[in-house]
Amino acid sequence: MTLVRHNSGGPWEDAVGYSRVVAGEDQAWTAGCSAVVDGELVGVGDAYVQALTAFRTGLAALERAGFPPGSVVQTRMYVVDVRANHEAVGRAHSAVFDAVRPAATMVGVAELIDPRMLVEVELVAHR
């Protein structure tokens, strides 16, 4: 399988050495997507807004690689203080993916790279 790597120009891609999306002919995977937009964290203190932003970042990256939103087959949500934030993140997931219904996993984590981040997501798409 030939793989194509797509970068978004984000600051951590070069520093860490990863691609925003790695796509094969019929499948694509995103890197972890957060609520950082143009270098600024969106929705500080609001897990719902952060999750919506992170999902939109991932979906936009997949679309640039040729995978529409309906091709998402799996999501993973990494949530800081999952007991306090799972409902907000779940509502955001439903708002974005209710019609698609991908397989989904939500995992509680101790922290993310920026202490203000409450959620990071990964998406897998298949066509």
Tens digit of pLDDT for each residue in 103-113? 999 999 999 99
Over residues 44-73, the mean pLDDT reads 97
> What average pLDDT does the structure give for the chain?
93
Over residues 15-26, the mean pLDDT reads 86
pTM for this entry:
0.93
Maximum distance among all Cα pairs of the chain, rounded to whole angstroms: 42
Confidence (pLDDT) at 11: 66
Domain holding 79, by residue range, is 4-126
CATH code (residue 106): 3.30.1330.40
User: Count of domains in the chain?
Assistant: 1
